[in-house]
Amino acid sequence: MQLDRNFNNLYIALDSLGANRLRSFLTALGIIFGVSAVIAMLAIGKGAKEEIMNQMKLVGVNNIVIKPKTQEKKEEQEKKEAAAEESPKKQESGKGRFSKGLSLADAESIRKMLPTVAAISPEMIQEQDVIYGSKSSKMKIVGIQPAFFGINNMRLGEGIIFNKQQLQSGEAVCIIGSDVKRKFFIAEDPLGKTIKCGNQWLKIIGVTEEKMISNATKENLGIRDYNLDIYIPIQTALVRYKNPSLYLGSDDRDQQQNTPASNMIFHQLDQLVIQVSETETLSASAAVINRMLRRRHNNVADFEITIPEQLLKQQQKTKDVFNIVLSAIAGISLLVGGIGIMNIMLASVLERTREIGIRMALGAQKSDIVMQFLFEAVLISLSGGTIGVLLGVSGAYLVDKLAEIHTLISGISIVLSFLLASAVGLIFGISPARKAAQKNPIECLRHD
């Protein structure tokens, strides 16, 4: 019996809303914009979080990146240090200091002296003309050690990794990126083939799996496209592509003292990536490495140290604050929409006083009047929520395509939006519904 009464109240509410379509739509506008804003903001926030996580995978976890400074950057740093010194004697002491640059010896020293190191990956990068058959292209030849693949979350799709013999003797072997295979070996298996890189013929022993990197990510992180690289043992790069006379000398400090004073820098490595075992030790390890390298480089600031993970986490924190602010604004829109519903429903109660009196005179109970107006408020909210979901999903899609801001819509955000819309209609519909039910039927019938 009660169920039949509720269905009857729902029918009356639907009939009332249908008779005032324009007013019902205008009342629902606040809910529409609020729900669409909530979905769009949650999609942007989730997309930003996923993008940061993907970027962390690209740069690796717990990594410290050391890059050599160019001659111009080094001279600029020395000027700043000289300006910070107080005495003229100290200013002169920084001039003419000699450094052998970032080298494999630095990498080995860090590996031996720092207990927090989990893996270390020195890199030498050369751009060479690559030729196979009738095809040629300029590509990067990267000298690495096997730890490179683990640190950068890369796997081999085919073939094998460099063995100990190849690493120590500098054999002419290489592992090519997936796009290199696609470019030079469309219809054939590259394994076992030889490819000319610069003046060297290299035997292909492996092919990496494709690593998905967007152009925006490459630009933001300052990383290259790993799929277009050709990887060789670092000793092979040193012997066959670098000038050995610059780097194969003794690491004796006395020899450095006898070297003519010069500001020239000859870096052996183009990048050195150090992975530490614990996130908590990142900053402390970076500080120790900085002191070690400054001491080994005769206090010459010819390198720079960055911690990509900390930079990305700070970026994520900034985006989280921004998303919270935008979500709060979206929540205020829902609140305004709820106030609009309550305002219109109160006006509707006053306008339909005679209708309420007639229903009571025909046997309607106070609970029936309450349910009728509650149904109207909730229906307005749910219809607004449905339109808002469609607008929010469309808005998130347009933001992703037109503004190039990655968005990710989840089912949870849609369900949450419906729940919020229902709650707003229910909460802000209670007061008008109770006011309608408390009216005196005789006074209602007298109302014009």
Q: Which of 280, 307, 334 is the last residue of a domain?
A: 307
Cβ(271)–Cβ(64) below 8 Å: no
| 159 and 265 co-located in one domain | yes
Same domain, yes or no: 204 and 167: yes
Beta carbons within 8 Å of 106's beta carbon, 6+ residues apart: 269, 272, 293, 296
Say whether 187 sits in a helix, a strand or coil. coil
Q: Is 188 helix (H, G, I), strand (E, B) or coil?
A: coil
pLDDT, position 31: 84
Cα(392)–Cα(43) distance, integer angstroms:
9
Q: How many helices (H) and strands (E) does the chain have?
A: 18, 10
Regarding pTM above 0.95, the answer is: no
Write the burial class of residue 448 (CB in 10 Å: 0-12 exposed, 13-18 middle, 19+ buried): exposed
Enclosing H/E stretch for 330: helix 308-351
Q: Which one of 307, 323, 349 terminates a domain? A: 307
The vertex-234 CA angle with 270 and 253, nearest 5°, equals 70
Residues 287 and 348 in one domain: no
Widest CA span in the chain = 112
Who contacts 310 (Cβ-Cβ below 8 Å, separation ≥6)?
Answer: 282, 283
Q: Can you give the pLDDT at residue 420?
A: 80
Residues 263 and 119 in one domain: yes
pLDDT tens per residue across all 448 residues of the chain: 566 677 777 877 788 778 788 888 888 888 888 888 888 888 887 887 777 666 666 666 788 889 888 655 555 555 555 555 554 444 444 455 677 788 889 999 999 999 999 999 999 998 999 999 889 999 999 999 999 998 888 899 999 999 988 888 889 999 999 999 999 998 889 999 999 999 999 999 999 998 877 666 666 666 788 899 999 999 999 888 875 444 444 444 444 444 444 444 568 888 899 988 887 888 889 899 999 999 988 888 888 988 876 666 666 676 777 777 777 777 787 788 788 888 888 887 777 777 777 877 777 787 888 888 888 888 888 888 888 889 989 988 888 888 777 788 888 878 887 788 778 878 888 887 788 778 777 677 666 5
User: What's the confidence (pLDDT) of residue 241?
Assistant: 84
Domain, as residue range, for 11: 2-55+313-446
CA dist list (Å): 293 to 12, 200, 201, 234, 374: 81, 33, 35, 21, 72
The CA distance from 410 to 416, in Å, is 10
* 99 touches 265 (CB < 8 A): yes
Q: Are residues 21 and 78 in the same domain?
A: no
What H or E segment, with its residue span, contains residue 127?
Answer: strand 117-132
Question: What are the φ and ψ backbone dihedral angles of 267, each rounded to 5 degrees?
Answer: -80, 130
Q: Are residues 101 and 224 in the same domain?
A: yes
Contact 422, 382 (CB under 8 A): yes
- Helical ranges in 64-146 per DSSP H: 71-84, 88-93, 104-113
Report how far residue 40's alpha carbon sits from residue 408's, in angstroms, rounded to the nearest whole number.
Answer: 9
Domain boundary among 278, 307, 336: 307
Is 139 in the same domain as 175?
Answer: yes
pLDDT of 245 reads 46
Distance separating alpha carbons of residues 355 and 314, to the nearest angstrom: 60
* pLDDT of res. 193: 94
Residue 259: what are its φ and ψ, rounded to 5°?
Answer: -75, 135
Domain co-membership, 68 together with 103: yes
**H or E segment and range at residue 129:** strand 117-132
Q: Residue 365 contacts by C-beta under 8 Å, 6 or more apart in sequence?
A: none
**Residue 440 neighbours by CB under 8 Å, 6+ apart:** none
Please tell me whether residues 155 and 231 are part of one structural domain. Answer: yes
Count other C-beta atoms under 10 Å from residue 152's C-beta: 20
Does 234 share its domain with 91?
Answer: yes
Could you tell me which residues come within 8 angstroms of residue 144 by beta carbon, excluding any fewer than 6 positions away?
121, 122, 123, 231, 232, 233, 234
Residue holding tokens 């080298």?
103
Residues 441, 300 share a domain: no
Cβ(37)–Cβ(329) under 8 Å? yes
**Total domains, the chain:** 2
End-to-end C-alpha distance for the chain, whole angstroms = 33
As to burial, measured by CB atoms within 10 angstroms (0-12 exposed, 13-18 middle, 19+ buried), residue 422 is: middle
d(CA 65, CA 59): 9
Spatial neighbors of 292 by CB under 8 A, at least 6 apart, are 109, 110, 113, 114
281 and 178, same domain (yes or no): yes
Q: Do residues 234 and 104 lie in contact, with contact meaning Cβ atoms separated by under 8 Å?
A: yes
User: Which tokens go with 13?
Assistant: 């509410």
Per-residue pLDDT at 168: 87
